């Protein structure tokens, strides 16, 4: 584990997140938002660990802008901005919810409080199921519902979801936090009318490489090499390819790679009752006394 790289990525990600938190995004397109935030990460000397996610209202996660996406933030929207910085593949994963409707301020606060309470209990040996219980209890006491089928995760070099899950509800079993391992904790909260679950939506605009096996299609193999060289195993967006490829050709070739299962396409995740969802997220490395929260402001 490269602690200095984790810390550097965390510092950059948290600086950018705090910029995102206070900025007025109303009237901006999600394309402008993603590009601006990604440029802030790059300007500070990191790479993006994944495309900035701009998931609005009932979309809980995994929406990123299409090339020139015109979807525009309205003055009643609640938008979850999830961003990742990486240094040599060591990732900081963090998120903030920006809310322009005071009716949903409590929802955002519940996600923040659940995360703060989780961060105050993490250390080596703490059970993930107990973190889930704290998150669930905090959210329910405030009159909201946790999203049961979204969770935090362990991180490894060039791997965002490295196998271990930190639940947002109490659950039987699970693992205990280890030393020298990075984890992301990310409570998702919906309203009392929400189902407390997400389902896959139709839109898929985040991708990641599955296999580097040649497809015998020259163009597809060229794109596969480009993806591997630029993004490794990490997620990417079509926007990131069309900076050096023709858009129509890139889209068709990417579709082909998805059909060949060389590339995985991730659907957006939507609250089952189409209720609004808030999120907060930190990356942390537990120690014997507590944890280094790499994305602490
Ligand atoms: Mn995230
Ligand atoms: Mn995460």
SS3 per residue for 113-167: HHHHHHHHHCCCCCEHHHHHHHHHHHHHHCCCEECCCCEEEEEECCECCCCCEEE
Helix (H, G, I), strand (E, B) or coil at 25: coil
pLDDT for position 196: 98
User: Do 265 and 238 contact (CB within 8 A), yes or no?
Assistant: no
- 254: closest CA among 89, 81, 66? 66
The answer to whether domain 3-200+272-293 has CATH 3.90.650.10 is: no
Give residue 13 CA to ligand 1 midpoint distance, Å.
Answer: 11
Ligand nearest to the CA of 80: 1
Q: Please say if 82 is a catalytic residue.
A: yes
* H helix intervals, the chain: 3-22, 30-43, 105-121, 128-141, 218-231, 238-241, 247-259
Identified catalytic residue from 112, 113, 186, 271: 186
Give residue 247 CA to ligand 1 midpoint distance, Å.
Answer: 27
Please state, in angstroms and rounded to a whole number, the distance separating the CA atoms of residues 173 and 66.
39
- 1: closest CA among 180, 159, 234? 180
Q: How far are the Cα atoms of 51, 168, 289 from residue 229, in angstroms, in the given order?
A: 16, 35, 39
pLDDT for position 173: 83
pLDDT for position 53: 98
Please state, in angstroms and rounded to a whole number, the distance separating the CA atoms of residues 263 and 241.
14
Strand-pairing partners, residue 127, are: 176
pLDDT for position 172: 86
Q: Please say if 38 is a catalytic residue.
A: no
Q: Which two tokens stand for residue 114?
A: 């659940």
Identified catalytic residue from 62, 271, 281, 282: 281
Ligand nearest to the CA of 155: 2
pTM of the entire structure? 0.97
Q: Please say if 282 is a catalytic residue.
A: no
pLDDT for position 212: 87
Q: For every one of its 297 residues, what pLDDT tens digit does the chain have, with 9 covering 90 and above?
A: 789 999 999 999 999 999 999 999 999 999 999 999 999 999 999 999 999 999 999 999 999 999 999 999 999 999 999 999 999 999 999 999 999 999 999 999 999 999 999 999 999 999 999 999 999 999 999 999 999 999 999 999 999 999 999 999 998 888 999 999 999 999 999 999 999 999 999 999 999 999 889 999 999 999 999 999 999 999 999 999 999 999 999 999 999 999 999 999 999 999 999 999 999 999 999 999 999 999 998
pLDDT for position 126: 98
Identified catalytic residue from 32, 66, 82, 136: 82
Q: Where in the chain is the domain with CATH 3.90.230.10?
A: 3-200+272-293
Give residue 186 CA to ligand 2 midpoint distance, Å.
Answer: 6
Give residue 283 CA to ligand 1 midpoint distance, Å.
Answer: 9
User: Do 128 and 177 contact (CB within 8 A), yes or no?
Assistant: yes
Q: Where in the chain is the domain with CATH 1.10.10.10?
A: 206-268
Q: Please say if 186 is a catalytic residue.
A: yes
Give residue 79 CA to ligand 1 midpoint distance, Å.
Answer: 13
Give the relative orientation of helices 3-22 and 30-43 as an angle to the nearest 10 degrees. Answer: 140
Domain 206-268, CATH: 1.10.10.10
pLDDT for position 239: 96
Q: Which two tokens stand for residue 227?
A: 């993806």
Give residue 248 CA to ligand 2 midpoint distance, Å.
Answer: 31
Burial of 79 (0-12, 13-18, 19+ CB in 10 A): buried
Please state, in angstroms and rounded to a whole number, the distance separating the CA atoms of residues 133 and 180.
24
Identified catalytic residue from 93, 112, 113, 136: 93
Q: Please say if 247 is a catalytic residue.
A: no
User: Do 60 and 198 contact (CB within 8 A), yes or no?
Assistant: yes
Q: Please say if 75 is a catalytic residue.
A: no
């Amino acid at each position: 584990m490269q602690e200095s790289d984790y810390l550097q990525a965390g510092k950059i990600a948290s600086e950018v997140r705090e910029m995102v938190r206070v900025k007025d995004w109303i009237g901006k397109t999600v394309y402008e938002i993603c590009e601006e935030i990604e440029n802030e990460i790059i300007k500070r000397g990191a790479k993006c660990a994944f495309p900035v996610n701009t998931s609005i209202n009932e979309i809980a996660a995994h929406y990123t802008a299409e090339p020139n996406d015109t979807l525009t933030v309205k003055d009643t929207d609640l938008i979850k901005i999830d961003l990742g910085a990486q240094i040599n593949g060591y990732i900081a994963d963090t998120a903030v919810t920006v809310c322009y409707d005071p009716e949903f301020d409590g929802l955002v606060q519940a996600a923040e409080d659940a995360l703060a309470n989780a961060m105050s209990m993490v250390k080596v040996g703490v059970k993930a199921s107990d973190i889930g219980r704290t998150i669930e209890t905090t959210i329910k006491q405030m009159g909201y519902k946790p999203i049961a089928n979204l969770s935090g995760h362990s991180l490894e070099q060039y791997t965002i979801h490295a196998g271990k899950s930190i639940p947002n509800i109490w659950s039987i079993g699970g693992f205990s936090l280890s030393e020298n391992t990075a984890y992301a904790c990310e409570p998702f909260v919906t309203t009392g009318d929400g189902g407390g679950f997400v389902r896959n939506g139709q839109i898929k605009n985040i991708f990641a490489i599955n296999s580097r096996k040649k497809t015998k299609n020259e163009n597809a193999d060229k794109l596969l090499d480009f993806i591997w060289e630029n993004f490794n195993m990490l997620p990417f967006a079509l926007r990131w390819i069309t900076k050096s490829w023709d858009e129509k050709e890139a889209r068709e070739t990417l579709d082909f790679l998805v059909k060949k299962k060389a590339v995985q396409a991730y659907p957006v995740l939507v609250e089952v009752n189409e209720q609004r969802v808030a999120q907060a997220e930190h990356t942390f490395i537990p120690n014997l006394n507590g944890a280094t929260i790499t994305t602490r402001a």
